[in-house]
Amino acid sequence: MAEVVDKDILRCSCCGLTAVKLEWSCGCVTVSYDEDAPACGDCDNFRDQRESCGKGGWPGD
């Protein structure tokens, strides 16, 4: 079971939406935010920061 090793709060500079970025001990990076909130183009970049360690499973679920 992966554990959180680092936590970051991302904030979109134009629309103000915030996201929680978590780095996991296995190497995965998850970014979660309110998917239903109105998002600008920069917010979509939050999703691009997600990374998978490739070991299968997704710690954010």
Among 19, 31, 43, 46, binds Zn ion (CB under 5 A): 43
Instruction: Give the Cα separation of 35 and 53 in Å (integer).
Output: 23
| Residue 19 lies near Zn ion (rule: CB under 5 A) | no
Instruction: Compute how many residues bind Zn ion; rule: CB under 5 A.
Output: 9
What residues are paired with 8 via a beta bridge? 21
Least separation in angstroms between residue 14's CB and Zn ion is: 5
| Residue 37 lies near Zn ion (rule: CB under 5 A) | no
The dihedral over CA atoms of 5, 56, 49, 15, expressed in degrees to the nearest 10, equals -90
Among 10, 42, 45, 50, binds Zn ion (CB under 5 A): 42
